[in-house]
Amino acid sequence: MAIKVTNVPARLAETLVIQTAADTTNTGSGVNIFSGTSKGNKFYCWKIDGSLVSSAFFVKVQQATSYTLNSDPDWRFFCPANSVATYIFPEGQSFSTGISFIATTTTATKATSQTDPAKAVVVTVLGGT
């Protein structure tokens, strides 16, 4: 069997972020996920694993160093009950301040009170420059 090695013309992403317990608090995911890396001013993919959650929920994303509950999200990703949802952005979505997100069953785009999903949500983000 022959092995062929080829150069990849450009990287898809340079930074992988995995949050294994996303919720509505700053301890769960509401702080800048690209803090401490210079390889994060675009995101290319969001994989939301809600396979343990028996009701639909959202991952709400803001361009911010800390998520503000009563401000509108810049992106809002839906995940059906007991499912895995993947959102892909081939050209990347640029941001400048940082990216913060929460996982919530609250449907309103902004609310001073948000409800956590009943079980753990795993969010994987592919980022880069």
Higher per-residue confidence, 84 vs 38? 84
Query: Which pTM value belongs to this model?
Result: 0.85
Distance CA 111, CA 107 (A): 9
Q: Collect all residues with Cβ–Cβ distance below 8 Å to 96 and sequence separation of at least 6.
A: 41, 63
Q: What is the DSSP letter of 43?
A: E
How much is the average pLDDT of 39-51?
Answer: 90
Q: Determine the pLDDT at residue 7.
A: 55
End-to-end CA distance of the chain: 37
For residue 126, report the phi and psi dihedrals to the nearest 5 degrees. Answer: -105, 120
Task: Say if residues 61 and 74 touch (Cβ distance below 8 Å).
Answer: yes
pLDDT of residue 10: 62
Mean pLDDT of the chain: 84
Higher pLDDT, 81 or 6: 81
Question: Of 22-26, 67-71, 97-101, 125-129, which gets the smallest average pLDDT?
Answer: 22-26
Predicted pLDDT of residue 28: 45
pLDDT given for residue 109 in this prediction: 87
Binned at pLDDT 50, 70 and 90, residue 6 comes out as: low
Q: How confident is the model at residue 77 (pLDDT cuts 50, 70, 90)?
A: very high
- Residue 76 makes CB contacts below 8 A (sequence gap 6+) with 58, 59, 60, 61, 109
Asked if 73 contacts 60 with a C-beta cutoff of 8 angstroms, the reply is yes
Per DSSP bridges, beta strands 75-79 and 83-94 are unpaired
Which residue has better confidence, 20 or 13?
20
Q: What 3-state class would DSSP assign to 87?
A: strand
